[in-house]
Structure 1
Amino acid sequence: MDIKEIQNLIKFVAKSGASEVKLEMDDIKITIRTGGDDRGESTTYVQQIPVNQAVAQGMPSTPVQSATPVAETPAVSEESKYITIKSPIIGTFYRKPSPDKPMFVEIGTSISEGDVLCVIEAMKLFNEIESEVSGKIVKILVDDSSPVEFDQPLFLVDPS
C-alpha cells in the first residue's frame, strides 16, 4: 500500500463519519481515528509487520508513525482558474524528445490542442502526451526524468 492509497483512505474515513477504522493486511496494519468533537483532526498509525526476515531486509526498519493529508486549500483557491493536465499512464516523465533536443514546452509557452507537451516512457515505449486544451503553460509540476503515476498532475494551463 503506497502513501496515496493511505491518504485516500484517510479522506474516505473522514467523509464517512466513522470514529475509528482498523485495517490489517499481510504486512501492514493501519488504524485511523477521527475526532468526534468537530476538531477536524484525524490520526493515522501505519505499522509494518515483517512477514519474514528475507522480506523485512528490503523494508525500512522504522515504521511510519503518522501520515496526514497535505492541506491544499490555499493553492487550490489561486490555481482554480487553471486547467490541470494529468498523466494518462504510469511511466517516466520526460520534457524532451531526446537528450540533445530542446524541451517541448517551458513556463509561459502558448499551446494549442494537439501540441506535444512531454513524453512518458512505459515499458520501453515513448508515448507523446498531447494537449487537449489551448492556453499558456503556467506551471510544470513534475521534474524531468521523474516517475509519474496515473492521473498525476503534470502541467497547469491558463486557458485565457
Structure 2
Amino acid sequence: MKLLKTSFITVILLLVSTTSMFAQDKDTDAVKAVLKQYNNAIEKLDVNGTEKLFTSDSKIYESGGNEGSYAHYLEHHLAPEMKEFKSFTFSDYKVDATVSGEYAFSTETYNYTIIVANDSKVIKRKGISTSILKKTNGEWKIIMSHNSSRK
C-alpha cells in the first residue's frame, strides 16, 4: 500500500511539472511572437498598430536616452524616422526569453542594415535589446524596452 501511495504521488508530481513546463513553453513562444511582430513591423517600415504590443505606461530607452512611453517614442521618434528609410533589415537575429509568472525577460541580439531613402546611404550596425513583458488579460505586452547599437 505504501508503494502504491508513493507511486501515485510521483505520477501526480510528474503530471503537474510537465503541465507547468508546457504552459511556460507556450508563454515563452508567445513572448517571442510579440517581439517578432514588432521586428516585422520595423522591417516593413510600417509601425501602424504596434502600440498594441506595449502597455500604455511602457518605458523605452534607446542608446542611453530615455524616450518616454512607447506612444511618445512612436510619435516623436520612430514613425518620423521610418519615413526617412528606404529599407530596414535584421540579420543574425537571436532571442532568449525567460518567463517567471506574469513577467517575461528577453534579450535579442542582431545585426541590422538601414538604407536611407534620400541618398541610398547604407548604415550597418550590431544591436542588442532587452525587454520586460507582462501578461495582462491573457496577452503579453512590452512594459520596458532598451536597445543599443554599435558599428
Tell me which interval the TM-score lies in, with the shorter structure as reference length: under 0.3
Q: Which is helix-richer, 1 or 2? A: 2
- Relative contact order, CA 8 A, sep 6+: which one is greater? 2
TM-score, scaled to structure 2? 0.24
TM-score, scaled to structure 1? 0.23
